[in-house]
Structures are given as C-alpha cells and as structure tokens.
A = this chain, B = another copy of it.
C-alpha cells in the first residue's frame, strides 16, 4: 500500500532524503507494509537547479499544497530555522500528519510545545537526525538505556568546529586561516557565529540533556564558550602536554542539580574523544548501571542525516501499521535545579604572557601557592618582545578557586596577560 509523504525543504539534507527513500522504498515496504512515496516537495525557488533528480515528485512553493492535502500522512521537515518551520510543523500535526525533522534549533527552543501538540494529535514527532547526524543517540537514550540514571554527557557535537580544530592540530595553522579554508570548502558558513561560538552545540546539548536527564532544561541554562580564542600556540602546547583541543558539550546531573556547558578543552590523546576528527561527532554517556558508553559517527552531511531521518520514517510507518503512533509519551519530568558552569574540580590549562624580568615567575607561582592550587605542569618559553610565555596545568581545582586565581592574575595587568584558560579532561573515559 502506498503511503504519501510531503517534504518541506529540499537543500542538502532534503535531497538526501529524496534519494534514500527512493533507494530503499522496496525494503521499507517489506519492513512496514507501506510503500513510501514523496509526492510533494516545498521549495522557496521553483526554478533553482538541484542536484537531486526529481521523478514523480511535484515541486511547490505553497506549503498549503502539503499541509492541506489529506492524502499526505507524513511530513518531513528539512528547512531548518525557527519560522516558518514551527508554524508548518504545528499545522501538520494538527492536521493529523506525523512529522519527522532534523531541526535542532526548533526543538531546542520549542520542543515541549511541539511534542505536546504531537501527543494531543496522537501523531509521531521524531527527530533522531537533530543531534549527531547519522549516530543513533535519541533512541538509545529513550529506549536502550532506560534502566539507568544518566549522570554524564560529554561530546563533540558540532562538526564545523571539530573540523577547524582538527585542521589546526594537523597543520599548526591559525584559527583565522583554517576558518577561511573551511568557509571556502563549504564546511563553515559565511557567518560562522552559530558554530564557532558554540551555540549550535549548546542547542544540541539542550535536547540531549532533556532526554538523558529526564528534566526540563532550556538553552539559557547552558554556559557557552566558543573556539575563537584558540591560538595556534594553544594547539602546540596541547600537543606538548599529550592532548588535543576539542569543543566539548558537557552535561552533569548529580541528582540534585544539572550543570550544562559548552567549552573548548584539552583532551588527552589516550581518551577516545581525542581520536574523533574532522566532521565526526561523538557522545560519551555515563549511566549508573551501564558505566561509560560512547557513540561515534558522522554528525552531518546529506546521506548521513538522511539515514537518521529515513530510520525515523521506518519507525513511524511501523507504528502506523500497529496503530501505536506517539507510543512513547513524555516521561515524568523531574524538577532539578539547573546551574551553569563546571560542577566539579577539573584540571585547568592557563596560557599567559608575562614580562621577561626577574621575579615575575616567582610572583605568579606564589599566587597559585597562596590559593592552594597545586601545579601539575609548568612550561616557560621566550615569546616575542621581551615577553615570556608561561603555560600552567593545575591539578584538580574547584571552579571557584580557578575563577579567583584568574581574577588575581588579571589584576596584575602590569606584569602579565592571560591568553587562554581551558579545562583539561582526564586521560580515560
């Protein structure tokens, strides 16, 4: 039996969906009893040349041709952005259509509203593709790890920044150079703010934390620091310290409160996340019964994202065939405080420039000693212009003590300038 699908948006991801559904239509029919056909595709520009070859699919620039078409049972949204995606998805759900999307921005900001609308309509609203591209993350968290209290999430969930940091590590080049190259190759947007400032990762973390911790969290709960301040010298020092720099999204739930953070970190090379390069994503999950788990794969791209979307389509069609759409209702949501920042002592990397004169180093060392912060590694090198470059890695230090020492160091602007501060992860999972 044919099942008609409407597609909202036909860029890179939408094109992949058209292709993959066509490739797998027979297999999907055998698995679900429904032969899926994309009948209508909403695009902004009907005349634009597209990579994907359309066959029976009708192009339209009128959303109503999909949303008001009673023959269309399933809507796939790949436009991205908040509006008009939100309005269209809500309209589709109200019309009794199942919705599948990869729209992380929308779910991070309006997830509860849309999920409520889906439950009211007894429709599926599935979004495995919204975080981690092809990597199964949402379903394992919702179905496989349900016997656990999840206490930790830690991951590389933005491909653009991971590409930039990987290239900086490989080539020793500067941030600006590599960003320019990434933009030329289409891996970074011409306005890269959402990626390089960590906002995209923060949105994804919001989605993951809500599911993993079973709690209400919002984008405002995430402390966010991006990668613009990472210098080639930080990458080189990280290497000297046996580590690589990664933009990590970190969530912790200690049962009382939840802490959420996106920030560049030094990851020792022995840690599995250190081998996650280029456009790959990976998420570490710690469950109280399961222990440490990691999920790794392509976080973006046409077919990898389509893999997750079409996987959701197959789940949806199976659910329709068994008359159980919307089978997992929202679980009980625990109310726990959400606070920003690192909740536990971490090692910290500090890079600073200091006047190359007698006594400066001793002064810095005495400040750390007074604050009772012990040092794991100290590197001092000659920088330019009579300046010494000093890199310090502390032993595990509470974040309050770290903030205090950073303040004291900053107050000595006559002697030194802090160039960068980052946490350094433990060596193993």
Interface of A with B (CB < 8 Å)? 16, 20, 24, 28, 30-31, 128, 134-136, 139-140, 143-148, 270-272, 274-277, 280, 282, 287-298, 301, 303-304, 306-311, 313-315, 318, 322, 324, 327-328, 331-332, 428-429
| A287 CB contact (under 8 Å) in B274, B280, B307, B331 | B307
Closest-by-CB residue of B relative to A30 is B332
Chain B positions within 8 Å of A143 at CB level: 139, 143, 311, 315
A148 and B307 in contact (CB under 8 A), knowing A140-B139, A289-B20? yes
Closest-by-CB residue of B relative to A147 is B310
| A135 CB contact (under 8 Å) in B280, B289, B293, B313 | B293
A22 to chain B minimum Cβ distance, whole angstroms, is: 12
Closest-by-CB residue of B relative to A329 is B31
A332 vs B26: C-alpha distance in the bound complex, in angstroms?
A: 11
Chain B positions within 8 Å of A24 at CB level: 147
Given contacts A290-B297, A290-B303, 17 further A-B contacts (CB under 8 A): A28-B147, A128-B144, A134-B291, A140-B144, A147-B308, A147-B309, A147-B310, A147-B311, A147-B313, A272-B275, A272-B296, A288-B303, A291-B303, A293-B295, A294-B294, A294-B296, A295-B295
Closest-by-CB residue of B relative to A26 is B332
Task: Say what secondary structure dominates the interface of chain A.
Answer: mixed
A9 to chain B minimum Cβ distance, whole angstroms, is: 18
Chain B positions within 8 Å of A294 at CB level: 282, 294-297
A332 vs B293: C-alpha distance in the bound complex, in angstroms?
A: 31
A295 vs B288: C-alpha distance in the bound complex, in angstroms?
A: 18
Residue in A290, A298, A303, A314 whose Cβ sees the most chain B Cβ within 10 Å: A290
A148 vs B31: C-alpha distance in the bound complex, in angstroms?
A: 13
Chain B positions within 8 Å of A20 at CB level: 147, 289
A292 vs B276: C-alpha distance in the bound complex, in angstroms?
A: 12
CB of A296 within 8 A of CB of B296, answer yes
CB of B304 within 8 A of CB of A298, answer no
A296 vs B291: C-alpha distance in the bound complex, in angstroms?
A: 11
CB of B307 within 8 A of CB of A290, answer yes
CB of B145 within 8 A of CB of A311, answer yes
A310 vs B287: C-alpha distance in the bound complex, in angstroms?
A: 13
CB of B289 within 8 A of CB of A146, answer no
CB of A289 within 8 A of CB of B306, answer yes
CB of A147 within 8 A of CB of B306, answer yes
Chain B positions within 8 Å of A324 at CB level: 322, 324
Closest-by-CB residue of B relative to A137 is B144
A301 vs B289: C-alpha distance in the bound complex, in angstroms?
A: 10
CB of B144 within 8 A of CB of A136, answer yes
CB of A136 within 8 A of CB of B136, answer yes
A304 and B275 in contact (CB under 8 A), knowing A128-B144, A322-B327? no
A259 vs B134: C-alpha distance in the bound complex, in angstroms?
A: 25
Chain B positions within 8 Å of A140 at CB level: 136, 139-140, 144
A301 vs B287: C-alpha distance in the bound complex, in angstroms?
A: 14
Chain B positions within 8 Å of A331 at CB level: 30-31
A354 to chain B minimum Cβ distance, whole angstroms, is: 36
Closest-by-CB residue of B relative to A145 is B311
CB of B307 within 8 A of CB of A147, answer yes
A131 to chain B minimum Cβ distance, whole angstroms, is: 13
Chain B positions within 8 Å of A311 at CB level: 143-147
| A146 CB contact (under 8 Å) in B31, B144, B272, B292 | B31
Closest-by-CB residue of B relative to A321 is B327
CB of B139 within 8 A of CB of A144, answer yes
A–B pairs, 13, beta carbons within 8 Å: A139-B139, A139-B143, A143-B315, A146-B311, A147-B306, A147-B314, A270-B275, A272-B272, A272-B276, A272-B296, A290-B303, A291-B297, A292-B297
